Each structure stands twice: as structure tokens, then as C-alpha cells.
Structure 1
């Protein structure tokens, strides 16, 4: 058995039937031109034959799962691939809509803690001839960055490469030397001293952030979020929708407005949420705020499992009608948050991020969500993806759509990833709390068009 870090166990502790705590992803592929009718069956056979499984995909909570299971990991030596790797098909007429309905249903179901906590569905039956895979892994095992990295490790830039591995197969970092993981006092002592220093600096850092908030009107805090339709108690059923946009359209807006790609993405989401809430007659007078995850991984630990992420909070300027002014307001808010974060150590960033999101840990308490204000209104995460056109066993990767985690008081999660020349958005929401969530896809396109007009 191995000790389970608190940053991982908290996702198990927070999980309930209404709050599944796994991250997922839907991938769309175009089969190679010479693919025959047995292509999907051959893919399944190839996947199930890759029985050399990395440690993290053999991991499950120790028995009993409700006690030691939140403290210790155990590893299963024998993996039931018939259970973990599943063959599925979309019902007729086989549109993307039916694929999203299936994904919504799979993403609503809890993972079995008595087995390694992951599943992969290989899906055929789409009317355009493409196929899909839906994979989900518990958040205690991987975060979004490491999950996407595992996917990329199983892909190839060569369309003629039919030897691609499965995401659970052990992989070596290409071009990187092996690392000596033995611990010596000489190496450990500086790390310990650095950690102690960071902890000692938490209180001064908190005071500094508070003072900065008073001086800088652009700095958003957890006290600034209004109550909205997005911040209600949720049920266990999910609705998942997704869409892709050309990355060059977003970059062009950023160049003309002097903003980053992420600033424009936030402005897209802000415009779409503003329209959606206006349709529901539920737009507050005060602007919505967003939490934006920031990866704390260095270039040397991108492939590591576990969780290493901080949060900044920014305005979405949904109280601003003009798209260009809204983008400028969002940019100023993000810059203010980054300026504060730039003066903190990674440990201090983690601690401050935990404080920003601390109220979410109390949402399971009866009545807490109904009688408190949210620390922020929506989570919007942009995870870097492949920069080249990728293939999997000769099939072209057309889309990588993240499916993430709504929770009580946070009924919508927007996660996107870059994929060669596109941005692939995945929206995951509570089916009961957020009616007609699929309309957000149209609102995102309208928001992008409005930004293009505003900066032209």
C-alpha cells in the first residue's frame, strides 16, 4: 500500500452520488481511408491486449474503501479489461447529438472504488463514419493536465504509425534522461527549508493580497461573486455539450485588442453566459466572476500523476454590454491576479488557492449553498493540448473535448483544450439546474462574432 496525499484524497472525501469526482474526455476520430468493417474490433483487441499497466492505472482505494480508502492506495495486479475497456455504439440516427447524450449518461455514473478507477468506451455508429472514445479517470488519480498528457503520449504525428499505445501503458519521457529518485539529506534539506519558509510566509502573503485588493479595483476576491442560477444545489445527472473553434480566430482578436488568447476565451464565455442568463431572466446586476486554474507543473513533471494546480479569480464583466469594453475589463482583472500570484511561492499559491475555493468544501453541509454566497460563479479552465495534427492507430484526431466536474454551488464547468489549429470546448453542467445547456454552444459562437466585430 502507498500513502495517499491529501490533495488526492480530498476528491474521494468530497464524492457522493450527486457529486461524481472524475475527469473525462471525449475524442473524435476519422478512420484511415483503408479502414475496413473490422477496424473498431481490431482497435478494441489492440487495447485489451496491452496488459502492461502503469501504477496509477492499477491504483484503487485500500479496503475498506470508506475508511482506509481515503488514506492509502492499493494496487490491483490483475486488470479486468473486459470491464474497463467497453464497446459501445450511438443509437440512430447517429448524430453528434446522440453521442453527447451517451457521454452525459456515462459522465453521470460513479466509478467503482473496488476496481482501479478508470473506464474507456470505444464508440461506433456515427452517421458520418467517424468513431469516438470516451475515457474517464478519478480526479484523485490525475488532474486535467496530466490526463491530457497521458492521451498525447498514446498518439502519434505519423498517420502510418499503427503501434500507438493505450493511455494506461507505461511510457518513457522521450528525449529525457532517467531521474535518480533516491532521497539524500543533502538534497532534501534545502527543499524542507524552502517549504518551511513558504509556510511562514503565508500570513504576510495573505495580508499583502488583502491590502492589494483595497488598492486595486481590478483585483477580484471570493467576496465579489453574486448569487446566480449557476450557484445552486445540484443533482447527480449531467449534461455534456461540446464544440470546436479555429484557434486563429481567437488569436486574431487578441492581437487586435492587445489581449492574450486566454483573455479572449474568457470574454467568449462571458458573452455566452450573459446571453444565457438573460434568456433565463437570471442575469444579476453585479458581474459574474470566474476561477481560472493555473498549472504549477514545471516542464520536468508534466507527465507526473496527482494534482498540482492553483486558482486565480477574475471578473467576467457580465454587467458590461459592449464586447470590447468587456474584454478590456477582463484583461485588467486577470493581469491584477497574475501580478499578485507572481510574488508568491508555489506552496503559497496552493494555499491561497485552497482558501479561494475553501467554501466549496462545505457545500455538502445541508443548507450551506442556499444560505451563502459562492466564492466564484463558474470554473473556466484552458488546458494546453497537442500542437500538431495527431493520429491514433492511423485514425486522425478531430476533437478533444474535456468533460469535467460540476458540484454543489458550481453547476457549470467549462474546460477547453488546444488541439492543433482548434480550440475544443467541453461544457459539463447539472441537467436539472441548467435548462437547455446546449444553447451555450450557439451563444459562444455569437460571442466570438461580437468580439470580431468589436475589434475590427
Structure 2
């Protein structure tokens, strides 16, 4: 029998609304290809590598009467051209034109009658480079049975654009009788799941997720009191249109801040804390530019999914094929009311540590997990956010450490990678952060009407980093 979606994966399908989509995205910027490689070669390479992930040739099929969760079935009509698409920017092909394309492409819902993913190969960048935009539904990516498409596109060294021979052969789809029989058999084997399946089928997925929130990392206890001045312009009714902006900063600047504050002001600070403090400073400057009143206790409550390890586990690197680390959510109050950058960092560290139940996995360990790439970690982070009642926080921030060496798609080097985190209901902004090859990059996804000044927020990020760096050096 085909594999059945878990209750959580099915919930991601049922939770999608007209203005809320539940797919994770990424934008990969590539340098100019060699003269003997064109965009068509890369498009064929992308299509051929899909064969390495059987889930990407499968579609969702519902069970009659919602007697069980939907199942994954091989798509006998799989058409690669509907999933790998080529497009081009008009001249001059600027970064702003690319982000505008991302803002138009990402909000479109994926076709439920086909495999739930898309890739856009974008030509016409002003330096002769290319970009790859990916969209992968949350129901597909759990880090175990399926991974984000970006993982099979990347190589650690430049390779050939030659495409391997296709190996996928679709299995026949189950009949209606087989679907019903399989659901009944599963219900007998796992009776507690029957009621949850019926609730999901009746559209009560939200209630199930809210109940799950009470048991998720103590978040309900942590959210018993909301920070003063939280939310504001970030808590709105989300529309269908988006704005998207990217920010490039240097990893060494964050390391310099950490070294400076560890010697005195904030001895326990980690790189992740510095990133959150920079984001808090950027949000503060952006809010002040809008003339919003900020008091000393003003804060924006963020859900920050972090990878954790069970107590007692050692710090040894995980072997190839090991189970990925668990990802749990922690609520962190970003102190937008605090004018001193170093004090903001102190408050971020205190807020982050206050709610932790288990120790975090370090960047080196995460980046060293074989076959476990940043896009999948971002996806797992969004899965955590999807299980928590959205009223408990205002902003989702995923911060994922990546490899500090160049990656390649065939023979073409990737020069930048930016996540696209979906907006949850009532949230005007979502922030994804990557570290890659000496850079820390931000992907800011926002509601188009609520944040017409998203570019201002993007400009505030490097300014906040510079201010924190100057203040940290002054405290040494």
C-alpha cells in the first residue's frame, strides 16, 4: 500500500487558505556559466536529479469519505516541464527585479493534482549569472522520507552538466477499494488516530494544532504574558500578494561581535544570539522610521525554531545516515525598545536561555550532518511554527548554519542562498537566515500591503550589525 501522510503533514494541506500557502522556498544565485554550458543544460540536470527523490514524482491522493489521511501515489502522468520552468529577467536584470519575481512566484499555490514542487531557472541577471527559485510543500519535507530539492542540486565540487539516465518507474495507483481497505486496516492497527483523522477531514486541523501547542517545548507556559508593545504593524490580516527582500552581511562581523562581548559584557553569547540581536536592532530602526512609539519594555515575540539534542548526548559529529536532530521552537522576545545594541544582545541571550529545555546543537555539528542541507532545516523550522498557535508569537525567524565552502550546481558555482519562509495567518513578516561561504544572508518575506517599506527594513539590517559591532568593540 502507498505511504500515508502523517496527521501533521495532512494538516499542512488542510490549513492552506487563499492567502496562506504552506510551501518553503529558496533563492540560489549562481555565477555566469562556462561557455560550454547553457541554461538548458542546467534545467535538464535539475530534472534528472529529481529521480533521486521518489517523493518528487508522487502526488497526494485523498481517501474517500476521509476514512484515513491522504496517501502518496506515483504520478503516472508526471510532466517535468510543469515543474522545472525557465524564465528570464528583463534588462538590466537587477537584484530588485529578481526579488520582485520571487515575490510574484512564491505566493502561488502549488497544483494539488501534481507533485507539490516547482523550480524556476532564471536567466538574464545583469552579470550574466543565473538564479534558481525553488518551492516545496511542507507536507513533503520532513527530513526523513523526503528532503528539500536543493539538497540534490548542490555538489561540493564543480561537476558535469551531463544528465544521468532516468531510473524512475511509476507504480500503479491504488483503486478506490484499495484506498478504503488500507484506511480501515490502519484504523484497526492504530485506533487513536481515527478520531484525529475524522477531525482533520472535517476541517478541524486548526484545533488539533492548537492542542499540540500546549506540549511543544513549554511554549504555552512561556507565552503566558505577552511583551509590551509586541506585534503592531507585524500583526495584520494577510493578503495574497508579497514583497521579498534579501540582505548580505559578512559572517566575520558576527564572529567579531561574539569575540568582543564574550570577553566581558555577554560571556554566553553565540552567533545565533548575535543574529537575533541584529534583527532586533533592524526592527527597532524600522519601527522608529514609521514613527511608532517604543517604550523601554517594547518587544517583538519571535518563534525561533532551534535544533536540539537530548540531554546526555555527546558532541561527536553524527555519522552519515544518522537521524537528523530534532527541531523545537523557542519563544524569544526581541527587545526593540532598548536603544543600546549591547544591552539588546544581553536581553536576547537572557530571553533565549530562559525558555530552553534542552541544549542546542552547534553550527558545526549541524553543518556536518551528511546530506542534511540548510533548506531542509528551514523547512523543519516552519513545521514547528505550524504546530504552535499563531497568537503566541508575532514573527517566525529561522536561522540555519550552512557550509563555509562553495557549492556547485553542475559546473556552476553558487554565490548566494536566501530562504523564503511562508507567512502564517495574521503575520505580516517572516525572516529566514542562512550562513554560507563566509556570508550571513537574510530573506525577508512580507505581506505586500502591510510592508510597503520592506526595503527600509532590509537597509536597517547591515546598519544594526555595524552599530552592534562598534558598541561591542567599545565595551572591550
TM range (shorter): 0.7 to 0.9
Query: Residues 68 and 124 (structure 1 numbering): CA distance in 2 closer, same or farther, change over 3 Å?
Result: farther
Query: Residues 313 and 107 (structure 1 numbering): CA distance in 2 closer, same or farther, change over 3 Å?
Result: same
1:29-428 aligned at under 5 Å gives the runs 29-32=30-33, 34-36=34-36, 39-50=38-49, 52-63=51-62, 71-142=70-141, 150-162=149-161, 220-221=222-223, 223-225=225-227, 226-258=230-262, 259-285=269-295, 286-295=298-307, 299=318, 309-338=327-356, 340-342=357-359, 358-360=388-390, 374-428=391-445
Per-residue CA deviation, residues 261-319 of structure 1 (Å, 9 max, x unaligned), is: 000000111011111112223355321121100235894697989x9631000111111
Query: Distance between the aligned counterparts of 2:110 and 2:219, measured in 1?
Result: 40
- The alpha carbon displacement at 1:224 in A equals 1.7
Query: Distance between the aligned counterparts of 1:92 and 1:162, measured in 2?
Result: 27
Per-residue CA deviation, residues 319-357 of structure 1 (Å, 9 max, x unaligned), is: 11100101111111112222x3459xxxxxx9xx97996
Per-residue CA deviation, residues 9-38 of structure 1 (Å, 9 max, x unaligned), is: 121111011001110000000034x425x6
Query: Residues 287 and 263 (structure 1 numbering): CA distance in 2 closer, same or farther, change over 3 Å?
Result: same
Per-residue CA deviation, residues 194-216 of structure 1 (Å, 9 max, x unaligned), is: xxxxxxxx99x97x9699x7xxx
2:37 is the alignment partner of 1:27: no
Aligned residues: 391
Gaps of 5+ in 1: 171-201, 214-219, 344-349, 361-373
Query: Residues 357 and 149 (structure 1 numbering): CA distance in 2 closer, same or farther, change over 3 Å?
Result: closer
CA-based RMSD of the aligned residues comes to: 3.6
Alpha-carbon contact 1:357-1:375 (below 8 Å) kept: no
TM-score under structure 2 length normalisation: 0.73
- The alpha carbon displacement at 1:421 in A equals 1.0
Query: Distance between the aligned counterparts of 1:328 and 1:297, measured in 2?
Result: 24
Query: Residues 334 and 277 (structure 1 numbering): CA distance in 2 closer, same or farther, change over 3 Å?
Result: same
Runs of 4+ residues deviating >6 angstroms? 144-149, 300-305, 353-356
- The alpha carbon displacement at 1:8 in A equals 1.1
Per-residue CA deviation, residues 210-258 of structure 1 (Å, 9 max, x unaligned), is: 99x7xxxxxx535324341101111111111112211111111011112
Query: Distance between the aligned counterparts of 1:417 and 1:443, measured in 2?
Result: 18
Query: Residues 328 and 95 (structure 1 numbering): CA distance in 2 closer, same or farther, change over 3 Å?
Result: same
Q: Which residue of 1 aligns with 2:188?
A: none
Per-residue CA deviation, residues 148-190 of structure 1 (Å, 9 max, x unaligned), is: 8652443222235545889x999xxxxxxxxxxxxxxxxxxxx
Alpha-carbon contact 2:42-2:161 (below 8 Å) kept: no
Query: Distance between the aligned counterparts of 1:31 and 1:241, measured in 2?
Result: 22
Query: Distance between the aligned counterparts of 1:150 and 1:445, measured in 2?
Result: 30
Q: Secondary structure at the match of 1:438?
A: helix
Query: Distance between the aligned counterparts of 2:385 and 2:144, measured in 1?
Result: 22
Alpha-carbon contact 2:89-2:98 (below 8 Å) kept: yes
Query: Residues 50 and 301 (structure 1 numbering): CA distance in 2 closer, same or farther, change over 3 Å?
Result: closer
- The alpha carbon displacement at 1:132 in A equals 0.5
TM-score under structure 1 length normalisation: 0.76
Gaps of 5+ in 2: 170-210, 263-268, 311-317, 361-379
